[in-house]
Amino acid sequence: MLTSTTNQNNQSLIGHTETQRPRSGGAFYGQSSGLLGLRKYRLTGLFLLVSTMIFASVALAINITTTQSEEEQIVLSTTAASIKDAKVVARIVTDLLDSSAVGSNLDSAQIMESASSLNLVDFLTDSEIVGLNLYLPDGATAWSSSARSVEMGSDQREIFENSLSGSIASGLVQGTSVTGPSGIVYDADVVETYVPISDFETGSTAFVLGVTRDVTTALSASIRQSRSAIFRSTAISLGTGFLVLLITVFIADIRMWKQRVLAINSERAMATHELSVAKMNLANWELRQISSEREKILSTVSHELKTPLTSMIAFTDIVSRNQTGEKASRNMKHLAIVKRSGDHLLTLINDLLSSNRMGSMDTALQRDRFEAVDLFDDLRSVTGPILAAKRQTLAIEGVREDQMVQLDRRRMVQALSNLVSNSSKFSAEGSIVLVESNIEESEIQIFIADPGIGISDEKLAEMMSVDADLRSDQAQDLGFQIARDIIGAHNGRLSIQSQSGQGTRVNIAVPIGDAG
């Protein structure tokens, strides 16, 4: 009933410990492998997202800046060419007007008629000029190289008005409709250049010559080339910096993840250790409870057995002394068997109690300083009746009276007597059990040899095992285990040399302590 209750308590407490601890990290332990992968590189992912946005912003800025810059550049270069061409045309128109002696008072029809005599086809064909227009100061078209009359747009009007102050004005007009020298109408990006032509008499602007130059192809090529060059240099610079930062962020991500994993493993190890400690404490508590109950039971049983057994042995002696008559000899023989069996049973009970106390043997030793010869005198007295029953002899050799030891005398006599008793039991009647002793440096060496039936290899391995069962039903096993525990409590060593049918030799070495 006690063991069952203890097991239930263990299961309850262990189960409570196992279910409590993981709650601290449960939110993390339950994550899927995919989510863990994302968490592992979340810093790198954030860096890539920010970098993508930066690259997109830089690309847009480059595109806008490049376009504006190239537009300004193409206007400047085209204006210079247009001014050069316009001066040539303006000189021709001026000469024409001067030769006609019409001055600035010439009306549109007369100007158109005079200008029509100019052969500008070859000039327009060899240049990028798609249109020449001669405007009056009010913006009205006096003459156009195109048969198709096109009104001045708002963009052209703004540039035209800047030229009325007497200076050349130029500007880019995108997506305007133009008519080429061949008469084809199309949309193009053009640079409008307006050159004022002054009246020599009055000094005021008499006409404004408008030169329309198609820059669609040149502008696109220039923007594309410039954008490509800027993109290339920018991409190299930003790409190098990006790779360096990416590698740095990736390494930082890996290190942070390793630290995170180490922290998790440390927490798991701590939880496992705490659980192991809890289980160990429960196991130790259970063992203490079992040991306590076993000691109580053995003490009770031993006391109940020893009381009637002592009485049986005492009355056997009384009955033996009062035997007379012709059956006295047979009765004495039978009573002797009863007494020996009783003594043997009493020895087993005492050994059983001793084995129960082996767990506290190291603290129960009572070391005394005495001569080694006294130890073997006690051994001879204790084992004398056992050996006499089989007419065996105990031979003790190598002991000197001046050799001192410091041991638990009673325990060592008990250990040696158990070993000698085993030798007697498995040796033939009339045989000799030899005990040799030798003290070297700081230990006493004792050898017990008998000519008995020996021990098989399997049995010897079982007896020498650390986990040998003290509940064996063979008395020599119990006596041997008690002897081994007593010698072990003295920090000694015990070994056996034996083969079946060739006898047994027990080797003992025990430190003699501060023997002086």
| 394 and 387 Cβ atoms separated by less than 8 Å | yes
- What distance in Å separates the CA atoms of residue 98 and residue 237, rounded to the nearest whole number? 62
The pLDDT score that the predictor gives to residue 108 is: 46
The helix/strand/coil state of 189 is: strand
Reported as a single tens digit per residue, the pLDDT across 275-303 is 999 999 999 999 888 878 877 777 777 76
Query: What is the b/e burial string over 211-245, where b = at least 16 CB atoms within 10 angstroms of the residue's CB?
Result: bbbbbeebbeebbeebbeeeeeeeeeeeeeebeee
Please say whether the beta carbons of 193 and 86 come within 8 A: yes
Closest CA to 246 of 43, 38, 54: 43
Structure tokens that stand for 434 in this block? 């030899």
Number of C-beta neighbours around residue 343 at 10 A? 16
| The residue to which tokens 């989510």 are assigned | 35
CB distance 7 to 265 below 8 Å: no
Ramachandran category for residue 368: left, alpha or beta (phi over 0 → left; psi -120 to 50 → alpha):
beta
- Return the pLDDT at 292: 80
Cβ distance 424 to 417 under 8 Å? no
Q: What is the dihedral of CA 285, 291, 294, 298, to 10 degrees?
A: -160
Chain centre to alpha carbon of residue 380: 67
Question: C-alpha angle with apex 150: 223 to 208, nearest 5 degrees?
Answer: 80
Do the Cβ atoms of 479 and 432 come closer than 8 Å? no
Q: Which residue has the tokens 């064996």?
A: 472
| Dihedral sign from CA coordinates of 359, 362, 368, 369 | positive
Tokens of 214: 């198609």
Could you tell me the pTM of the whole model?
Answer: 0.40
Q: Residue 350 has what pLDDT? A: 72
Two tokens, residue 85 = 């061409």
101 by DSSP, 3-state: which? coil
C-alpha distances in angstroms, 380 versus 336, 377, 393, 417, 420? 21, 5, 10, 9, 10
Instruction: Give, in order, the Cα–Cα distances in Å from 457 to each of 390, 462, 501, 502.
Output: 27, 9, 12, 12
Minimal CA–CA distance to 513: which of 375, 408, 361? Answer: 408
Tokens of 70: 């190239």
Q: Which two tokens stand for residue 452?
A: 């008995």
Three-class secondary structure of residue 118 per DSSP: coil
Total residue count of the chain as it appears in this document: 516
State the burial class of residue 418 (Cβ atoms within 10 Å of its Cβ: 0-12, 13-18, 19+): buried
Domains and CATH numbers, the chain: 64-214 (3.30.450.20), 366-511 (3.30.565.10)
How far is it, in rounded angstroms, from Cα 206 to Cα 480? 141
Cβ neighbours of residue 49 closer than 8 Å, sequence gap 6 or more? none
Q: What is the pLDDT of residue 477?
A: 67
Report the alpha-carbon distance of residue 356 to residue 264 in Å, rounded.
46
Nearest to 487 by CA among 452, 448, 457: 448
Walk along the chain (516 residues) and give the pLDDT tens digit of each residue: 333 333 444 444 444 444 444 444 444 444 444 445 556 667 777 777 777 787 777 777 766 776 667 666 766 776 777 667 766 666 666 665 565 544 444 454 554 455 454 455 555 555 677 777 888 888 888 777 776 666 788 888 888 888 888 888 888 888 888 776 666 788 888 888 888 887 767 778 888 888 888 877 777 777 677 667 776 777 777 777 778 777 887 887 788 888 888 888 999 999 999 999 999 999 999 988 887 887 777 777 776 777 787 778 787 888 877 777 777 888 887 777 777 677 767 776 776 666 665 554 444 678 889 999 999 998 988 888 888 888 999 999 988 878 889 999 888 988 998 899 999 989 999 999 999 999 887 899 999 999 999 888 888 888 877 554 443 444 456 788 888 888 998 999 999 998 888 899 999 999 987 655
User: CA angle, corner 357, sides to 356 and 360, nearest 5?
Assistant: 140
Which two structure tokens, joined as six digits, stand for 75? 């206007």
Strand, helix or coil for residue 212: strand
457, containing H or E segment: helix 457-464
Name 445's bridge partners: 438, 509
